[in-house]
Structure 1
Amino acid sequence: MKTLLSVLIMLTAVSGAVAQEPPAASPAASPAAPDPGTAGDASGGQDAVPEARRPGRAGASVVLCYHHVEDPAKNEYTVTQADLEAQMAWLKKEGYNVVPLEKLVAAYRGQGTLPEKAVAITFDDGWRCANEKALPIFKKHGFPCTLFLYPDMVGPGKHKNSYDEYKAMLADPLVTIGGHSYSHPYLTKDGGKLKGADYTRFLQREYVQSKLQLEKKLGVPIKWLAYPYGLYDEQVARLREEAGYEAAFTVNGAANSALAGPMFLDRYMIMKSDGMKGFVRKVQSLPLELTELDPGNGALVPASRRTFSVKIVQPDVDPRSVQMTIGGKGKSTFDPTTGVARVEAAGNLSAKMHQITVQARDTKLGRFRRQCWFVRVRGAPAAPAVVREKRGKDRGAGTADSGGDEAGDDTSDRTDRGARPDRRPGKDVGGAQGQAPAEGSEEDGER
């Protein structure tokens, strides 16, 4: 079993997979152009629990995800104030439209469109540095920001904020708040030591009670969810719906296409190793328009399943460049007459999360477009790794009970998979502070 540390290191490697382009595949003709009337819920993340199809196109976007701002940045999921300032200044200089999450979500719910070069900014977990070091920079540039919180990270402590402090932040119209579970656990397991009613109560607390708690304490509706560790499956989707969230965010490391569905909106983790070059690559990444994901995003599949498919509806794609992988592996084929790409796994899949990635070169722009989604193979045995608060001594966050190999090693490109809050800011844990992995580190294409 992989340790949590090895998983976090893997996530770090995955997060850097923005720039490389793969070799061209065998020749074929171009796929058909998309039909705006059948846009549906495809974003490289179609909902496993289908939502009503909607006409129109929201517009493409990139959502950024930060975790820590510290000087110096000792942890991979930490950026310095100078780097953050430079990144925000670059967005303004280059004419990016930093939109409130409210507007972005409304567009993907079919209630408007996004401007060109749309970007949204999010900050996960609720570290004090978000208030003291990040928000002043966002406000300086007039950029809205959404903080994703979980109640176990709110309260007294050197690295935490109180509910009163969050209320003060909300007095600024540029600041909004979303939910991030109750204790930041892995929620894509089959229960492990928790069985039956006990496991149901655990899940209800993480998704439903956490939302109610934040709404009660802050006096504002909590409408959006950031999946803890960026992990999700069909069970998580049902809980998300029961709780009444209007949108949910991954950290799959991709831009959102005009066809994205609101329950699987992708984000890019911004990391220490990105530097300005990596930051720019992420912001300038291109989404790939997909429909008919089979299986859907977050689907539970048997280990014996070998073939996975999707329809590419992105115009101006070089058919020779189309590549599809599962966990960074598999035999990829593409039918230009139907626009359907397939990947065949070499053997039975292990019981964990697996990332499916599709990419293709845009013939007009000469750059790669990329999209991805996750499936879970039944049978992951370990219990959820609940983050528990250290008693008596402030560690700035909880400590993970188990970690295990939650999503195995198939994160391919996710990054919170959220940042795991079991270390103080600046405490180097060797990699990502928070996401569990999917499988295979794919360095595929420009995102």
Structure 2
Amino acid sequence: MVKTTTRFVCGLLFISVAIGARADLVVLQYHHVSDATPPATSTSVSLFEEQLEMIERLELDVVDLQKGTEAALGGELDGSKQVAITFDDAYDSVYTAAAPMLEDRGYPYTVFVNTDAVGGRGYMSWDQLKELESKASVTIANHSHDHGHLAKRPDESQSGWEQRVESSLDQAQSILKEKLGTDVPMFAYPYGEFDAGLEEKLAEREWIGFGQQSGAVGETSGITRLPRFPMANAYGQLNSLKNKLLSKALPVDASTLPAGIVTDNPPTLELTLPDHISVNRLTCFASGQGRIDVNPSGPGIVRVRAPDAFNSRRFRYNCTHPTDDGSYYWLSQQWLDLSKPED
């Protein structure tokens, strides 16, 4: 069964228009759904069940990822509160534990596959993926061939990087088409890492790109750097899940945000806010450092900078602002320090 683009959202790298406090699309990101896999990337079976129950209680529409994303970017949700469910890496627990629970509820979902791992220990087989893909509610999409770190390395030549990246992107897409008959224009960055050059590679292919930074997808979101809320045990607990499920994209034009490659540590994030966002009600946090200062820098412009340097390869600034309906605008800026070793 071939799934192709119904319409690529204007064919643009970024889309930005002014919006009000309407509903946006919330995308959830999972890896393992298991009680026996690494805690950092696992959601327990009981927590996954409770998360699905909360989605049902809140009467949220669980939608196809591509259609929901295109509608959110195009401003066509019309107040509908929508959620999309995704899994990275095609672990076998998705097939054995998550899929039956989702099918019982009739919820669609997307599995992003790193093709070189298929059939390996702990991963789904091609037969299992083919079985899932045959269902109208399931989409199989590209997560690279080798799950490599795809941002350009500091000591890597431009030609070497292009050859490495294009091989991983296109080989995976070709294998998915050959094995499953699917050619979906969506990509999830391994480790959530991307740079401007990698975004350009996706834009050339007219692919929609998803990271691992938190937040909702709205009209001002960047089509090659879309956020997803990680749902592993540490991040998917019910006491904070409702705010995430009902969140909206902070209406900041994604084309004004940095690609996220760290040149100064700690980095500075500058945001240009619309009139209905109050600087005094904007709250920002840095990974491992808690709440950080938000400093006005001009009319509607603020600068955010953590007080201390970061030691990790990946970290984030998360900013929220209350909406008029009791939910939150949300923006997460992903940072990538290429001087730190790959993991």
Distance change in 2, residues 1:175/1:191 (3 Å): same
Q: Give the deviation of 1:56 after TM superposition.
A: 7.3
C-alpha contact (below 8 Å) 2:16/2:220 kept by paired residues: no
Which amino acid is 1:139 matched to? E
User: What secondary structure, in the 3-state scheme, does the structure 2 residue paired with 1:76 have?
Assistant: helix
2:81 aligns with one of 109, 117, 130: 117
* CA distance in 2 between partners of 1:325 and 1:271 (Å): 19
C-alpha contact (below 8 Å) 1:104/1:114 kept by paired residues: no
Which amino acid is 1:373 matched to? Q
* CA distance in 2 between partners of 1:170 and 1:180 (Å): 16
Give unmatched runs, 5+ long, in structure 2. 1-8
- Provide the residue aligned with 1:175 in structure 2: 138
* CA distance in 2 between partners of 1:348 and 1:79 (Å): 30
205-214 or 179-188, larger mean C-alpha shift: 205-214
2:165 matches 1:203 = yes
2:334 matches 1:374 = yes
* CA distance in 1 between partners of 2:14 and 2:295 (Å): 28
Which amino acid is 2:213 matched to? N
Q: Give the deviation of 1:152 after TM superposition.
A: 1.2
Q: Give the deviation of 1:354 after TM superposition.
A: 5.7
Q: Which has the higher contact order (CA 8 A, sep 6+)?
A: 1
* Percent identical residues: 22
C-alpha contact (below 8 Å) 1:353/1:375 kept by paired residues: yes
Distance change in 2, residues 1:304/1:120 (3 Å): closer
Distance change in 2, residues 1:376/1:82 (3 Å): closer
- Provide the residue aligned with 1:22 in structure 2: none
Distance change in 2, residues 1:55/1:334 (3 Å): closer
Distance change in 2, residues 1:375/1:128 (3 Å): closer
1:232 aligns with one of 185, 194, 201: 194
126-135 or 364-373, larger mean C-alpha shift: 364-373
User: What secondary structure, in the 3-state scheme, does the structure 1 residue paired with 2:197 have?
Assistant: helix
- Provide the residue aligned with 1:215 in structure 2: 177
Which amino acid is 1:121 matched to? I
C-alpha contact (below 8 Å) 1:333/1:343 kept by paired residues: yes
User: What secondary structure, in the 3-state scheme, does the structure 2 residue paired with 1:104 have?
Assistant: helix
C-alpha contact (below 8 Å) 1:289/1:314 kept by paired residues: no
C-alpha contact (below 8 Å) 2:31/2:42 kept by paired residues: yes
* CA distance in 1 between partners of 2:240 and 2:312 (Å): 32
Q: Give the deviation of 1:331 after TM superposition.
A: 5.3
Which amino acid is 1:61 matched to? L
TM-score, length of structure 2 as denominator length:
0.81
User: What secondary structure, in the 3-state scheme, does the structure 1 residue paired with 2:253 have?
Assistant: strand
Q: Give the deviation of 1:115 after TM superposition.
A: 4.9
2:123 matches 1:160 = yes
* CA distance in 1 between partners of 2:295 and 2:212 (Å): 27
Q: Give the deviation of 1:252 after TM superposition.
A: 0.6
2:40 matches 1:51 = no
Q: Give the deviation of 1:130 after TM superposition.
A: 0.9
- Provide the residue aligned with 2:6 in structure 1: none
2:253 matches 1:291 = yes
1:254 aligns with one of 208, 215, 237: 215
- Superposed CA offset, 1:230-289 (max 9, x none): 1111121122223441x1111112223343232222111112244332433432344321
Q: More helix per residue: 1 or 2?
A: 2
- Superposed CA offset, 1:132-160 (max 9, x none): 211111010110000000111112x4422
- Provide the residue aligned with 2:231 in structure 1: 270
Which amino acid is 2:69 matched to? V
- Structure whose CA Rg is larger: 1
Matched residue count: 330
136-145 or 247-256, larger mean C-alpha shift: 247-256
C-alpha contact (below 8 Å) 1:189/1:381 kept by paired residues: no
TM-score, length of structure 1 as denominator length:
0.64
User: What secondary structure, in the 3-state scheme, does the structure 1 residue paired with 2:237 have?
Assistant: helix
* CA distance in 2 between partners of 1:257 and 1:175 (Å): 23
User: What secondary structure, in the 3-state scheme, does the structure 2 residue paired with 1:166 have?
Assistant: helix
Distance change in 2, residues 1:79/1:260 (3 Å): same
Distance change in 2, residues 1:78/1:330 (3 Å): closer
* CA distance in 2 between partners of 1:68 and 1:292 (Å): 30
* CA distance in 2 between partners of 1:197 and 1:132 (Å): 42
Distance change in 2, residues 1:215/1:237 (3 Å): same
2:32 aligns with one of 55, 60, 68: 68
54-63 or 348-357, larger mean C-alpha shift: 348-357
* CA distance in 2 between partners of 1:86 and 1:288 (Å): 27
